[in-house]
Copies of this chain bind each other. A is one copy, B any other.
Amino acid sequence: MDLKEIGKKAKDASFLLGKMGSGEKNKGLLAAAEEMLKGQDEILKANANDVKKAKEKGMAQGLVDRLLLTPDRILGIVEGMRQVAGLEDPVGEVISMKKRPNGLVVGQKRVPMGVIGMIYEARPNVTADAFALCFKTGNAVILRGGSDALESNEAIVACIRRGLSSCGIPEDAVFLLSDTSRETAREFMRMNQYLDVLIPRGGAGLIKSVVENSTVPVIETGTGNCHIYVDETADLAMAADILFNAKTQRIGVCNACESVLVHRAVADTFLPLMKKRLDEKQVEIRADEASRAVVPEFKEATEEDWGREYLDYILSCKIVDSVDEAIAHINTYNTGHSEAIVTSDYGNAQKFLDEVDAAAVYVNASTRFTDGFEFGFGAEIGISTQKLHARGPMGLLALTSTKYIIYGNGQIRE
């Protein structure tokens, strides 16, 4: 089936999904989850093929691990789908409705986006996740996963389609692009006639490519060069705990801390304390000259380090003279993701919250909390680092749009 045909079928399906009540959608979602369990052997077999080929190609161990499915992981994915069925459906809510002086009643209602395109890497769990969230919000979805997960994705989508079909719901609510060529990806990113929005999920390279090549509106999900600023008045033990958590609890994620800024007045005390904590995990610290004057064992940072998202046991470190300098540094080098201050000063806390330009700004907490589940959304399709439409963790609401509905009785414009 060619891309246009897929687009057209998905668009047609989206009109039907848009009319469905939550009850019917939840039924479809649970049936799809059930079919994934029933089809577990089929999925594992397909996945074993993908993993075998990936290893033969010499794929890095970390990536192979993301690709690998096990019965436990499938159960986890199925559990996730069931949880989405249990979430409140935002579609149909009328957010506001007011009568105008001429008697027109103008309301604004939440509606599905229509057709959502997802472009992501070789992570088969995203296939089921993305389907569940898009479907719950009444959207059709076209998935373009990484080529290394193609067989796994095909098996998963086959199960989902069987589940939908068993409830009389159009299978075309979900499509997987089996052609994973770059040419097709480019054509996909320019399908404005059929796609209402495109969401890339993956590393910086993938996201950059989508932002640069797409003519369909994109929600940029993000890389995170996240900072922790240890203020003059910080509780230094708390600061060390927060930094240790944000840097080392999980290194490969976008809300992990990559850079620490320390107020000059507490540097002599804090830097050795910090080093001791981070040594437990052998974190390499790349520091400016002033920090190295305090702890000579720190490596030398280059200008390039201030902008790096390491996703590794590496941290950049810089001494600053004030909260203003910290804010200016962050607003220069950050990626608009998550930033934290550790302080006991009311004014500095408020200043940091007000002036730092990022999706999530923290006082006295780890940046690792930037997450749809931690924020209480019950789900997450990604974390937006752009300012348009959605910013920060995106739950079901981010997958909806609105429409004005206007009730008249013959009004014409003078």
**A residues whose Cβ falls under 8 Å from a Cβ of B:** 15, 18-19, 98, 100, 104, 106, 113-114, 192, 196-197, 211-212, 215, 217-220, 235, 238, 241-242, 244-246, 249, 331, 353-355, 357-366, 368-370, 374-376, 386-389, 391-392, 401-413
Q: Give 15 new A-B contacts, CB below 8 A, not counting A361-B406, A365-B406.
A: A19-B354, A104-B369, A113-B387, A114-B357, A217-B220, A217-B387, A219-B388, A241-B412, A249-B413, A357-B403, A360-B406, A369-B411, A387-B401, A388-B389, A389-B389
14 contacts across the A-B interface (CB closer than 8 A): A15-B355, A98-B376, A100-B374, A104-B365, A113-B387, A235-B410, A359-B404, A362-B408, A363-B408, A364-B408, A364-B411, A366-B412, A368-B412, A368-B413
**Could you tell me if A212 and B211 are in contact, using CB atoms closer than 8 angstroms?**
no
**Could you tell me if B364 and A412 are in contact, using CB atoms closer than 8 angstroms?**
no
Instruction: Name the 6 nearest CB pairs between A and B, nearest first.
Output: A365-B408, A245-B412, A387-B401, A389-B389, A368-B413, A360-B404
- List of B residues within 8 angstroms of A113 by Cβ: 387-388
**Could you tell me if A363 and B245 are in contact, using CB atoms closer than 8 angstroms?**
no
A375 to B107, CA, bound (A): 10
**Could you tell me if B357 and A15 are in contact, using CB atoms closer than 8 angstroms?**
yes
- List of B residues within 8 angstroms of A361 by Cβ: 403-406
Closest B residue, CB atoms, query A400: B387
**Could you tell me if B217 and A217 are in contact, using CB atoms closer than 8 angstroms?**
yes
- List of B residues within 8 angstroms of A392 by Cβ: 402-404
**Could you tell me if B242 and A331 are in contact, using CB atoms closer than 8 angstroms?**
no
A98 to B375, CA, bound (A): 9
- List of B residues within 8 angstroms of A362 by Cβ: 406, 408
**Could you tell me if B403 and A360 are in contact, using CB atoms closer than 8 angstroms?**
yes
**Could you tell me if B365 and A410 are in contact, using CB atoms closer than 8 angstroms?**
yes
Q: A235-B410, A401-B391 are in contact. Are A375 and B249 (CB under 8 A)?
A: no
**Could you tell me if B18 and A355 are in contact, using CB atoms closer than 8 angstroms?**
yes
Q: A375-B100, A389-B388 are in contact. Are A331 and B406 (CB under 8 A)?
A: no
- List of B residues within 8 angstroms of A360 by Cβ: 403-404, 406
**Could you tell me if A217 and B412 are in contact, using CB atoms closer than 8 angstroms?**
no
Residue in A18, A235, A376 whose Cβ sees the most chain B Cβ within 10 Å: A376
**Could you tell me if A363 and B412 are in contact, using CB atoms closer than 8 angstroms?**
no
A411 to B366, CA, bound (A): 6
Distance to closest chain B CB from A167 (angstroms) = 21
**Could you tell me if A387 and B196 are in contact, using CB atoms closer than 8 angstroms?**
yes
Closest B residue, CB atoms, query A368: B413
**Could you tell me if B359 and A412 are in contact, using CB atoms closer than 8 angstroms?**
no
A353 to B406, CA, bound (A): 8
**Could you tell me if B363 and A406 are in contact, using CB atoms closer than 8 angstroms?**
yes
- List of B residues within 8 angstroms of A220 by Cβ: 217
A196 to B391, CA, bound (A): 12
